[in-house]
Amino acid sequence: MFKSRYTSLLLSGCLLASVSACSSAAPPTACQPAAGFTQIDVVLATDVAPLSSFQPAIAGPRTDYAYELGGATIAITLSADKHSLIRKWTEPGQPSVEQRYSLECADQHYLVGKGITAQFVKDGLVVQETHPNTDGIPADMGMFYAAQK
């Protein structure tokens, strides 16, 4: 009996916790997107489409996403643990501009932090920044960033 209980605790990640603490641990909660996020319009190349037209996806191992805007490249990089996100705006002949976000919640569908909400969608990530600090990124719309290989 001890061996099977020890094995099940080890497999469930509770080796250092007590049996009662592990058995009473609450399951992780899903992220809730910012109010109104599911109703936003999304910039996609030269078009605008409602978020509802994008097929939701499950987060995968990719951490790099990008959007081309004229000669500029806007890149999104997620940390491997999905606790932070960096948006980097690069224009030829200009210094890059970065915006860093700490993510308060990251699950298989959404990334949520102060001033940012993102949803994993087929072939990429839709990101809305409420205070982008860059003229080319609208605060009231999302932007589609294609997953990079």
Per-residue model confidence (pLDDT) at position 19: 36
Per-residue model confidence (pLDDT) at position 140: 94
Indicate the length of the chain as a whole number: 149
Per-residue model confidence (pLDDT) at position 69: 85
Which CATH number, 2.40.160.10, 1.10.150.20, 2.40.128.50, 3.40.50.1580, labels domain 37-147?
Answer: 2.40.128.50
Q: Domain map of the chain by residue range?
A: 37-147
Per-residue model confidence (pLDDT) at position 79: 93
Per-residue model confidence (pLDDT) at position 46: 86
Q: For residues 76, 28, 58 and 62, what is the CA-based torsion angle, rounded to 10 degrees?
A: 40
The pTM for the full model equals 0.79
Q: Residue 128: which H helix or E strand, with range?
A: strand 124-129
Per-residue model confidence (pLDDT) at position 75: 97
Query: Which residues sit opposite 87 in a β-bridge?
Result: 76, 99
If we measure between CA atoms, which residue out of 145, 92, 140 comes closest to residue 123?
145
Per-residue model confidence (pLDDT) at position 18: 35
What Cα–Cα distance (Å) separates residue 113 from each residue in 8, 34, 40, 116? 34, 9, 17, 5
Per-residue model confidence (pLDDT) at position 29: 63
CA distance 123 to 4: 43
Q: What is the mean pLDDT of each run of 10 residues along the chain (149 residues)?
A: 36 35 47 93 93 95 92 94 94 93 95 96 96 89 95
What is the separation of C-alpha 11 from the centre of its chain, rounded to a whole number of angstroms?
28
Per-residue model confidence (pLDDT) at position 70: 85
Query: Which residues sit opposite 1 in a β-bridge?
Result: none
